[in-house]
Amino acid sequence: MDIQKYIIDKKKIIDRTLDKYLPSSSVKPEIIHRAMRYSVFPGGKRIRPIFAIAGFEACGGKGNSIIPVACGIELAHSYTLVHDDMPCMDDDNFRRGKKTCHKKYGEDMALLAGDGLLTLVFQVIAESGSIEAVKEISKAIGTRGTIGGQVADILKKKAEGRGQRAEIEYINLKKTAVLFEVAVKSGGIIKGASKQEIKALGDFGRNIGLTFQLLDDLKDKDGYVKLYGEKRTKEKAKLLARKAKSYLKILGKRADRLSKLADLILNSAPD
């Protein structure tokens, strides 16, 4: 299957399933459910859950047992965006061409919408029946993961530029790469892959997540680009993508789809 068609097909499945998991906007208290749905739909490319599905398939997985985990990861990503956009964090007014959640529903409802999405993450992932997946995703979005990355980002801004070089790698790893890492890794966990295969999937996901962040920096002329310039950022992105793909050797031809997704990340602007 063509990789673009694959992405479109999987995105449709993910969106349909997310629609079922999220409470209807007519369910009381209506405003919070509207805010949660507003933050999830229409959404981006759903690239993280698609990587989870591709990781599952790369280990020989078939069927829909990965879908709850894939959707849980997308809900986790959505929750981080809601909170990151708030005035006390990154203070953004727009996300994907529309008002951010706090601009649309107010800071109080945005905070609670993020909390609601985070809580729903674990309800959804629990449907997989995998305690290991719950543990891994909990770590990825906890203080040793995305929260830790946001803390470092806040402290870096308060330091007014001091220590940026020492912190940028940590922030990129924890704010972005960790969700890619756990997404691909979860595919192997749900399939029951070997420890070596799961580690390889995690290593692949982490490096492709770092690639994704550098490409985002290139698009925004921010982050790594401000420190090292466009040329060095592009070179590092290519190096990381090659490194990511090197970890797929253990999976052989089964990992072709993951490899194609990595190429797509490298050759297109992230969403």
When pLDDT is cut at 50, 70 and 90, the band that residue 35 belongs to is: very high
When pLDDT is cut at 50, 70 and 90, the band that residue 269 belongs to is: very low
Supply the DSSP string of 127-172, one letter for each residue.
TTT-HHHHHHHHHHTSTTTHHHHHHHHHHHHHTTTTTHHHHHHHHH
When pLDDT is cut at 50, 70 and 90, the band that residue 159 belongs to is: confident
Lowest mean pLDDT among 141-145, 197-201, 217-221: 217-221
Longest Cα separation, the chain: 52
Lowest mean pLDDT among 41-45, 81-85, 204-208, 255-259: 41-45
Lowest mean pLDDT among 35-44, 194-203, 222-231: 222-231
Report helix, strand or coil for 94: strand
Catalogue all structural domains in the chain, each as residue range(s) with its CATH number. Answer: 3-266 (1.10.600.10)
Question: Given this model, what pLDDT does residue 271 score?
Answer: 39
State percent of the chain over pLDDT 70.
Answer: 97
Report helix, strand or coil for 99: strand
When pLDDT is cut at 50, 70 and 90, the band that residue 270 belongs to is: very low
pTM of this prediction exceeds 0.75? yes
Question: Given this model, what pLDDT does residue 44 score?
Answer: 87
Instruction: Return the closest-CA partner of residue 69 out of 130, 19, 142.
Output: 130
> Residue 233: which residues within 8 A CB-CB, separation 6 or more?
214, 217, 218, 224, 225
